[in-house]
Amino acid sequence: MNKDFKLSDIPKHNIYQVPEGYFDRLPMRVMERTTATGNQHHSPVYTSLWQALRVAVAPFILLLVFVGAYFLSTPTQKAGNASIANLPDQEIVDYLTTYAQVEATDLAELSVADKDITSDFLNISPNVAESELEYYQLNEEPF
Amino acid sequence: MEDKELLEKFANPESRNLAFNQLVRKYQQKVYWHIRKMVIDHEDADDLTQEVFIKVWKNLENFRQDAQLYTWLYRIATNECLTFLSSKKRKFFLPINDVAAELAEKIDSSPDIAGDEIQLKLQKALLRLPDKQRLVFNMKYYDDLKYEEISEILGTSVGALKASYHHAVKKIEEFLKQD
């Protein structure tokens, strides 16, 4: 090819072709698609109203979440208290003597408890107490 | 119909469809050919052209009238082209030259591309340019847009566009001198 070749030597020509009648049909095809998406098209007034409504509704929804969380958590505590109150005193004493570390004063203050059980702890003789202590091996690890 | 009148009619819900139809008829060829020269394949150009006008439909009410409508359309079409081409490269894990080779193959084999040898070679030379430089060349050489208009479309300075076009022409001429 000529070494002095310039781009301006080539005539501008569009080598690409389209199917016959393509540009006659294209607007209709586009309009069909806009009709399909047309329901999503909102006027500026609608858009601004919706934006304002979203800002107003957001704190209200947040408040509902907090209120809902409060009412969901509160009845659980009441139910817990109610279930303990319904337990027989004997059952509570049995539970505490088995699982809890109970001081002698706790039992002395428990006026409603079984007197026989509390007296076993309160009126224990020194000899019995000593034999009970010897029965259990004390932990030798320093505190 | 003038752009201003089209926009006014589009703003009115009663005449919106009619105005948009007229807008598509007015600009469809500019948009299509701008895209076609970038993606080469008619089916791809057809899909992208429709996508451009769907975006125009959705966003025309937000269009700022301090810009020209056709430069805004060009900008949307340009973005669609660049997104399409970059996704094509990512999708097939192909380096840029392989996508260019694929498009060059279409120039040789597509039944709806017809031209003499030098015209076909010119199109293949264009495919060797980076996408943005090819855009600049097409808008200046084929569409006769002013540098200021291209600057508005691409958001690039006029000086950079002039340099880009100058280098593009040099590269193309070098390619065409080969063989």
pLDDT, tens only, B61-110: 888 777 789 999 999 999 999 999 998 887 666 565 678 888 888 888 88
Beta-carbon separation of A14 and B172 below 8 A: no
- For the question of an ipTM over 0.90, the answer is no
Q: Which amino acid is at B143?
A: D
Query: Which CATH code of 3.40.1280.10, 3.60.70.12, 3.30.470.20, 1.10.1740.10 fits the domain covering B3-177?
Result: 1.10.1740.10
pLDDT tens readout for residues A10-31: 888 889 999 999 999 999 999 9
Q: Report whether B100 contacts B127 (CB < 8 A).
A: yes
Contact B50 A30 (CB under 8 A): yes
Which residue ranges make up each domain of chain A? 41-86, 87-135
Q: How far apart are CA B20 and CA B77, in angstroms?
A: 17
* Cβ–Cβ below 8 Å for B112 and A16: yes
- Closest CA–CA distance from residue B177 to any residue of chain A (Å): 5
The answer to whether A27 contacts B24, with C-beta atoms less than 8 Å apart, is yes
Report the alpha-carbon distance of residue B48 to residue B77 in Å, rounded.
8
Could A31 and B42 be called an inter-chain contact, meaning their C-beta atoms sit closer than 8 Å?
no
pLDDT at residue B74, as a whole number? 96
| pLDDT of B121 over the 50 cut | yes
Q: Which residue of A has its CA nearest to B111?
A: A17
Three-state SS annotation for chain A: CCCCCCHHHCCCCCCECCCCCHHHHHHHHHHHHHHHHHCCCCCHHHHHHHHHHHHHHHHHHHHHHHHHHHHHHHHHHHHHHHHHHCCCHHHHHHHHHHHCCCCHHHHHHCCCCCHHHHHHHHCCCHHHHHHHHHHCCCCCCCC
- Identity of the amino acid at B111: P
Q: Report the candidate in A106, A76, A77, A74 with the shortest Cα–Cα distance to residue A92.
A: A106
Residues of B in contact with A7 (CB under 8 A): 141, 169, 172-173, 176
In whole angstroms, how far apart are CA A64 and each of A57, A134, A137, B30?
11, 62, 58, 54
CB–CB contact B114 A30 (8 Å):
no
CB-CB neighbors (< 8 A) of A20 in chain B: none
Give A83-140 pLDDT, tens digit per residue.
777 888 888 777 777 776 666 566 666 655 556 665 666 667 777 777 766 666 555 4
- Minimal C-alpha gap between A50 and chain B (Å): 16
Residue B50: per-residue pLDDT: 97
Give CA–CA dist B62/B68, Å, rounded: 13
Query: Which of A10, A19, A31 has its CB closest to that of B17?
Result: A31
A44 pLDDT exceeds 60?
A: no
Residues of A in contact with B36 (CB under 8 A): 16
pLDDT band at B136 (very low <50, low <70, confident <90, very high): very high
Asked if B27 reaches chain A (Cβ–Cβ under 8 Å), the answer is no
Q: Which residue of A has its CA nearest to B23?
A: A27
8 Å CB contact between A97 and A110: no
Contacts of A6 in chain B (CB under 8 A): 173
Give the angle B124-B127-B130 at the CA atoms, nearest 5°.
155
> Searching chain A, which residue's CA lies closest to the CA of residue B57?
A34
